[in-house]
Amino acid sequence: MFFFLGFEIGSLQFVLLGVTEEFTLQSTMLGVLLATQFFALMIGQPVFGLIADRIGKKPIILAAMCIFITGCSLMTGSSVVTVFAAGVFLAGLGYGVAESLACASLIDVYKEKSERYINLSQSLFSLGAVAGPIAANQLSSIANSRMIFLVSAIGFTALLPMFCIIPLPDSRSIKDKPTFSLRGGAAIPFLFLLMSIFTYGGMETAAAGFFNSLFTIALPAPQFGAYAVSLYWLGIAVSRVLFGLIHIPARRVVIGCMLICMAMFVALGISHAPVISLLLCAAAGVAAGPVWGMLVSFAAKEFPAFSGTAVSLMSTFSGLGATLVPIAVGWTADYFNLFWSMIAIGAVVLLGVAGFIGYVKKRSD
């Protein structure tokens, strides 16, 4: 599942530049189309997370998979931008619910080791995101690059029977469960976590979405565009595997990795050398890798009886960041240039660092 989700988002982030050219759209609309998927993620997850904690995660995951398949099919066959955007929306809705509830299931099963298994599963997501742009780039020479979304649709179709069979942790009945509430001692720390994952989601999505434009338009070195996106996701995949296998205090990892990430984006805004910029994209991916899974795991542990809801809210705010930040980055690219857009992403990461430091201080009190 995680591989095909990554394959879809990696493909989308690469294909969007061609879509804007195909439908004669401005750079700002590239950000809007990219944000559409994450807007769907944002509005769907809180509702479905609460339902999953009441009736069980499996039926909601299966429904989300069907929605995702429909969205990928529409993106492939669309001939007008509105149909393509509808496909992006549906794919985002299915993607978000399926990913968040799958992560919540891993947390339910593995408890204190959940960071390890989330990072390992997310490494498969990242490998899919590496493969997607490369495959889309190769496909574009012989067919419409939007055909690449069929890969994820077919992959999810093949997985459906397996998810019907495998057991997943069930939530307790509604009579046995309290009502989810953000009141109490966990409220303020959780809000700081929401702030951090908002900035992370915006950074991850805006970076991957605008790397191709950076190399194609600003440097210019269009031959490096697909490789920049793929190296970024490869760096994320490698670091997620690494941090899934070794044990380092998670709080230090999150702060250190986000600071390194910020530095890489500032450097991308300064560098005009294509090869150096390519290496900086890979380094940004390595630094970003373990952050998402660790933030989500912290949140689920704040509300152990409502892991589905907590993870869904985190994914929602990640999606909110992925909705708003690319639009702001697109605006920066239109009114200034793509180098300044990289620096803007670095500033967003710095806000995430501040949010996580606030969480650590509250939890240390």
Q: What is the DSSP string of 254-302?
A: HHHHHHHHHHHHHHHHH---HHHHHHHHHHHHHHHTTHHHHHHHHHHHH
Contact 180, 309 (CB under 8 A): yes
Q: For residue 178, tell me if it sits in a domain.
A: no
For tokens 């299915």, the residue is: 94
pLDDT score recorded for residue 266: 96
Domain count within the chain: 1
Instruction: Give the structural domain span for 344.
Output: 2-172+183-364
Q: For residue 95, tell me if it sits in a domain.
A: yes
CA dist 341 and 175 (Å) reads 50
Q: For residue 229, tell me if it sits in a domain.
A: yes
Assign residue 43 the CATH number of its domain: 1.20.1250.20
**Nearest one of 320, 319, 313 to 52, comparing CA atoms:** 313
How does pLDDT run along the chain (365 residues), one tens digit per residue?
899 998 888 788 778 777 777 777 766 677 777 778 777 877 888 888 888 877 888 899 999 999 999 999 998 887 788 888 899 899 989 988 888 888 888 887 777 677 778 888 888 888 887 788 788 888 877 777 788 888 889 999 999 998 888 877 665 444 455 556 666 666 888 899 999 999 999 998 888 778 888 998 898 888 888 788 888 888 988 898 888 888 788 899 999 999 999 999 999 999 999 999 999 999 999 999 999 889 988 888 877 777 778 888 888 888 788 878 988 998 998 889 999 999 999 999 999 999 999 999 988 76
The answer to whether the predicted template modeling score (pTM) of the entire model surpasses 0.75 is yes
Q: For residue 68, tell me if it sits in a domain.
A: yes
pLDDT score recorded for residue 182: 64
Contact 197, 321 (CB under 8 A): yes
Q: What is the dihedral of CA 53, 54, 56, 59, to 10 degrees?
A: -110
The gap between the terminal CA atoms of the chain, to the nearest Å, is: 39
Q: For residue 341, tell me if it sits in a domain.
A: yes
For tokens 């805006």, the residue is: 206
Rg (CA), the chain: 19
Contact 153, 72 (CB under 8 A): yes
Q: For residue 133, tell me if it sits in a domain.
A: yes
Q: For residue 177, tell me if it sits in a domain.
A: no
Helices (H) and strands (E) in the chain, counts: 13, 0
pLDDT score recorded for residue 281: 95
